[in-house]
Amino acid sequence: MALLERLWNTGKSMVVGHAITIREMVKKPITVCYPEERVTPERGSRSVPVLKVNEASGLLNCVSCGLCERSCPPSCIEIVQAVDANGKKKPWPETFELDLSHCMVCNLCVEACPFDALEMADVLELSTYQVQDLVFNKEQLAELWKTSRALRVAGGERI
């Protein structure tokens, strides 16, 4: 009896497998011819963390606390806090650099930011032939935020 049952299960799985293959062969392909046709990414898709700008004041929300820098697994964020002539620290970054060639797009920097200064943008076309062109400063990241549909995703929920 065990032999007949195994033969039946084998034949059944072969029929089901071939039925799936034939069904997929007759479906319309979902491939896009890239340069001519472009797919709009879904809202909330992640490609690069960007710096958010306060729309009322025009200044960055970043206070250079360094939590995003410390939470980044590949250490691709570098922040230098601004200092005045007396050596007193100011609550904004002097430099904020993101090395996108090392970024894992893990969203940990966005989740760690308590000041709502980082969001994940849906920018797709940042490829380049020079690796050094993938290091973005704070002005470039703010410009990417202004021109993209950025979204803050924290704890798996859209905020």
Does residue 23 fall inside a structural domain? no
Give phi and psi for 95, each to the nearest 5.
-135, 145
53 falls within a domain: yes
Question: Does residue 17 form part of some domain?
Answer: no
Domain boundaries, position 65: 48-158
Q: Which of 66, 136, 73, 147 lies closest to 101, judged by CA?
A: 136
The number of distinct structural domains making up the chain is 1
pTM of the model: 0.73
Instruction: Summarize pLDDT for 109-157 with one digit per residue, the tens.
Output: 999 999 889 998 888 888 899 999 999 999 999 999 988 887 765 554 5
User: Is position 59 within any domain?
Assistant: yes
State the CATH number of the domain containing residue 52. Answer: 3.30.70.3270
Does the residue 24 lie in any domain? no
CB-based contact 76:103 (threshold 8 Å): yes
Q: What is the pLDDT of residues 73-117, one digit of tens each?
A: 999 999 999 999 888 999 899 999 999 999 999 989 999 999 889
The predicted pLDDT at position 154 comes to 55
